[in-house]
Chains A and B, each alone.
Chain A
């Protein structure tokens, strides 16, 4: 004890300490007078949201302009625009295809396939994901089997799927399901694992049993990751659906696009592509909207988003 004299000084409570401030007693240097700043309208415009809107319009207009010019002058510089339809031709096509119900039916069939496959993938992916993330036994039992199938792209399943399922429609929905399933599953597992264990402890001290823990802590806790999985899964589902429709389909917007190619109807190819793009955009927008409604607390969290 006595070997430590410098530590043995009587303890003084911190409140009694004399407050010292950095820079105390220093005379501040006079600042140079600032030039009167005129309100710069240009600068203010750049900080407003109209600037972003204007740039977005310019960006899209640029693409359209390039398309128009390249097709009008039949640009042929390694990439060839000889047979590519002009924007005006595509616009005409929109009116034309809507005169018969075929086009809308194709869209409807694709959307139905997506929704079915995606819904099954969500239920199974989230369900299995929660089990795998929460219970070691489920993880050991199910995950190895999943890891076998995961590296196989959904499109590679097309021939097998046709053999496997009784009719073509189910096999396409199955491909769509496969595309969405793995991103949803893996993100859910990750979401459950990422839950702060102190929240589980807190819930248990408050009397939560396993079922309440699932419903009130694990599921909402994993929700941000689950929605990441849904967004990614939706994208892969569309990729898989279009490929499956092109290869094996009857009906569907992917089939429409591929058929247009077979029938040398170039404007319909472009129309099909744009339609697929718009549908994908609407679906991911829908998921973002759902996420916002399902997780109102996220609007206040610092960091994420």
Chain B
């Protein structure tokens, strides 16, 4: 549980290309993206909606085959999904027919571990996430934040080398989100696992990450790579630090250019400015 154990869990995405076939039309989702997650590092991927950040994560998870380039885990090419990469999805992906503990034990069960070992490990992790008293509840009995905590615990149960998180807190209200971010940093700090975190929330990315990649509009490329200058452990007060706000501003600027690009070629920046002042929010909404 210290820094020394984090020698595995290195993700290399090299020159990744992914194309989709949508109704006979080829759509380029990701174009020559290069990212890297070092062992034990927390890396966020941020970008405008529809930029292909989830696509990139799905390639690392093994759900998608790259059309070009390579995805490597500890130097080995990724071939399909596997329990060496835990995935936390945006939608609550708990099995409704299993209790909380059975959900957490699922991966261990797939590994053929004995019932006793499974229960012990699941209960340890549930305790870490403050969910031990809910072990025999069904997911439908839990709140959204609790469900997502179970989702994280379940992904961690098989001791993966990397945790892949696809906008995991996107469906939660902002108060729950903040608490979840703190829980996640705490767990990450204890387990020292590599994390690739997808989000469109700039503050969330900065608060959680060691490094942040900013993606362009589709076809997704890496537009910028930034290192977060804040020390660990992170505290909520840090969100008021000048480094924090400066970084928010910087990333906002980067993403806004891309969001405008993503909304279509006709929409020049000058045109958008005129629109905003003359038409107001309703007009802009219609346009979107």
Contact = CB atoms under 8 A, between A and B. Distances in A.
Interface in B234-263: 239-240, 245, 248-249, 252-253, 256
Nearest to A206: B107
B95 A199 contact: yes
Contact of A295 (B91, B97, B106): B97
A14 B248 CA distance: 12
Contact of A3 (B141, B155, B269): B269
Contacts of A5: 273
B239 A205 contact: no
A199 B151 CA distance: 11
B184 to A, nearest CB: 18
Contact of B240 (A4, A6, A16, A220): A16
B229 interface: no
B158 A206 contact: yes
Contacts of B106: 203, 206, 208, 216
B110 A11 contact: no
B63 interface: yes
A11 B245 contact: yes
Interface in A192-240: 196, 198-199, 201-209, 212, 216-217, 220-221, 223
A205 B82 contact: yes
A198 B90 CA distance: 9
B140 A196 contact: no
B224 interface: no
A1 interface: yes
A contact patch SS:
helix
Nearest to B87: A205
B254 to A, nearest CB: 11
B263 to A, nearest CB: 14
Contacts of B277: 6
A204 B81 contact: yes
A234 B121 CA distance: 44
A13 B174 CA distance: 13
Contacts of A301: 96, 140
Contacts of A14: 174
B contact patch SS:
helix
A14 B83 CA distance: 38
* B interface, size bucket: 35 or more
A223 B97 contact: yes
A199 B249 contact: no
B111 interface: yes
A213 to B, nearest CB: 10
B270 A3 contact: yes
A300 interface: yes
B107 A297 contact: no
- Tell me which of B85, B96, B239, B245 has the highest count of chain A C-beta atoms within 10 A of its own C-beta: B96
Given A13-B203, A301-B96, A1 B89 contact: no
Nearest to B102: A216
A302 B95 contact: no
20 contacts: A3-B273, A4-B269, A6-B277, A14-B174, A15-B239, A199-B95, A201-B61, A201-B87, A202-B95, A204-B80, A205-B62, A206-B83, A206-B110, A207-B110, A207-B111, A216-B106, A223-B97, A296-B138, A297-B98, A300-B138
Given A5-B273, A202-B154, A297-B138, 11 more contacts: A1-B269, A13-B248, A198-B91, A205-B81, A205-B85, A207-B107, A207-B158, A209-B110, A216-B95, A216-B106, A297-B97
